Amino acid sequence: MESKSNVLMQRYELGRLLGQGTFGKVYYARSAITNQSVAIKMIDKDKVMKTGQTEQIKREISVMRLARHPNVIQLFEVMASKSKIYFVMEYAKGGELFNKVAKGKLKEEVAHKYFKQLINAVDYCHGRGVYHRDIKPENILLDENGNLKVSDFGLSALAESKRQDGLLHTPCGTPAYVAPEVIKRKGYDGAKADIWSSGIVLFVLLAGYLPFHDPNLIEMYRKISKAELKYPSWFPPEVCELLSKMLDPNPDTRISIANIREYGWFKKGPNTKSKRPEVENNTDSSSSTSHSDQNDETDGVAPDAKDESVVPTSINAFDIISLSAGFDLSRFFDESFQKREARFSSRLPASVIISKLEDIAKQLRMKIKKKAAGLLKLEGFDEGRKGVLSIDAEIFEVTPLFHLVEVKKSNGDTLEYQKILKEDIRPALQDIVWVWQSDQQLQSQQSEQQLQVDDQQQQQPGITPPQF
């Protein structure tokens, strides 16, 4: 914040924090000249330069200047100081589409509206040689009228980014939404990859959960590669047909946007007989991969039911490899995905870990819900900045006296979750934790960075970073 009066560049009055990303923060602001509400993304120059992301930021600016569409977040202007870059963007008052889906699956007519607007935005971008490459509900915002706005072009690519084979080669995106050809790292068509991700979004809107999900990242990639898909019973046949063409694992035969537009369901939408709420609770019976709360056993914990209702999931050596820092493929993807989860190992029995998690829930005044397959859910009672905070803790049994535990945010504000994880959960668990995976990774990264610094000092003394 550039001045004592919280007025940026004498042009924008800064307000509350809206969110935080890899390189900076996003604030609500109001123009001191026109009184218009805007969102200002503040990017730290040092972080960008140290991580070698200068070209990525320049590309994001170029992409957002190209995109002028009712369903794409508009970039009004870019400003800079010695230490910061400021993106002044359209303010989406409705927040993330993710927050709406987190409450349950959407009504078909609402999902149709959002999907149609998403395809319009994606088609517009493709027509200007822009490929988003990270389409997901967290990167889709809603304005005050409930209209969709595609945002966050940080991982996008321009047509000139293609190699001589006419394909893109940088693996990026968010694991659950990424197309199978991106995972294979043999080159991919950016437009076809965006169509796959848009199909995943449509499935999530109508189902309330992800189509390809597995705690083992490599197993999830296997499901994605084979497109092993089960449709919930309430999906209309025409939607299933459309999704089967959008989620075709072969990009050469995957449906194009032009053909998506020709589908009757896309053009006309569902036949609605009566008005119903936008969001439904996931009470319908669905496939075993549903993430609804219908299997919750209790709100709160019965003293004599600690061990019986939660049975840790058994994992084998292959699972452990996929969870280890060295083989964690998620490092190729969105940083925000990684920050939502933390893993630790313990040499104590599952009953002790469960008891400790119950104590933490009581201390934080959160209710705890027990689910099958070693999953516990901690939920707050009060609405936060992005809804009620919900934290999942899943226990995996390696041996009866060795467990892996994954803690991650499933709903609510990421900053609130990170604060609780750092200030409450980690300290409360220190007497039962053998090691946190993040600590291992940090030590490894620090050692590697120190070696690089020492090497640079020996070879090229006196080098100063370039101006940006």
- Binding residue positions for ATP: 41
Q: How large is the greatest C-alpha to C-alpha distance in the chain, in angstroms?
A: 75
- CA dihedral sign, ordered 122, 128, 131, 132: negative
How many Å apart are CA 299 and CA 283, to the nearest integer? 17
Contacts of 264 (CB under 8 A, 6+ apart): 238
Phi/psi of residue 109, each to 5°? -65, -30
Helices H / strands E in the chain, number of each? 16, 18
Contacts of 131 (CB under 8 A, 6+ apart): 125, 156, 157, 158, 168, 190, 191, 193, 194
In the set 123, 134, 152, 319, the catalytic residue is 134
How many Å apart are CA 24 and CA 451, to the nearest integer? 27
Cα distances from 271 to residues 43, 112, 264, 267, 275, in angstroms, run 46, 11, 11, 12, 11
Residues in the annotated binding site: 41
Cβ atoms 125, 118 nearer than 8 A: no
Tokens 């940026």 belong to 8
134 a catalytic residue: yes
Cβ atoms 185, 340 nearer than 8 A: no
User: Catalytic positions, please?
Assistant: 134
